Amino acid sequence: SYLAFETAGANERMRINSSGDVGIGTSSPVEALTVIGNISSSNNVGVGGILTFHNNNKNILIGSTNINTGSASGCRNIVVANHNKTGECLNDGDDNIILGSANAEKLTDGCYNVSIGLCALHESTTGNCNIAIGFRALVCDTGTGKNVAIGPLAACSLTTGVNNTMVGCGAG
């Protein structure tokens, strides 16, 4: 047996099944709480165990409300930042990891990039397979690939190079 909550006639919105599992947006909850749809919180959300994402190739966006994928179709991107426009730009970019504010803000179609640090990989729009770690690392790259820049200002003037490795403060 179960307890169902309906609105507008026979539109089921929530169900508590015989095991005590609650489903919102589903009549078949599989956990203590199963939600089909978006969840919004204006305060903190705590997790006492392992946080697992089952999101069918969607993006994971953590940060301020400035991160917004809109109609973007990019998949499996992880963006953790405040005041970052990246989420608005990830149109077809897949498998990118972007950590820090103002990182990869113009990235539209780039794939397999790692950007960590303030303004790292800032100008890249379509670059692939780049690693930029550090303040303004690989900041001027506009769409090249297979570059590694580690350290503050590493490869900061590189715009179109390919297969470069620069390590250290101001390297390159």
> pLDDT tens for residues 28-61?
999 999 999 888 878 888 888 887 776 666 777 7
Positive or negative: CA dihedral 61, 63, 64, 67: negative
Least confident of 71-85, 118-132, 142-156: 71-85
133 or 107: whose pLDDT is higher?
A: 133
Bridge partner residues of 60 (DSSP): 78
Tell me the mean pLDDT in the region 148-152.
95
Whether the per-residue pLDDT at 20 is higher than 90: the answer is: yes
Within 8 A by CB and 6+ apart from 11, the residues are: none
Whether the per-residue pLDDT at 63 is higher than 60: the answer is: yes
pLDDT of residue 153: 95
Amino acid at 21: D
127 or 130: whose pLDDT is higher?
A: 130
The chain-wide mean pLDDT, for the chain, equals 83
Amino acid at 76: R
Cα gap 121→150, rounded to integer Å: 11
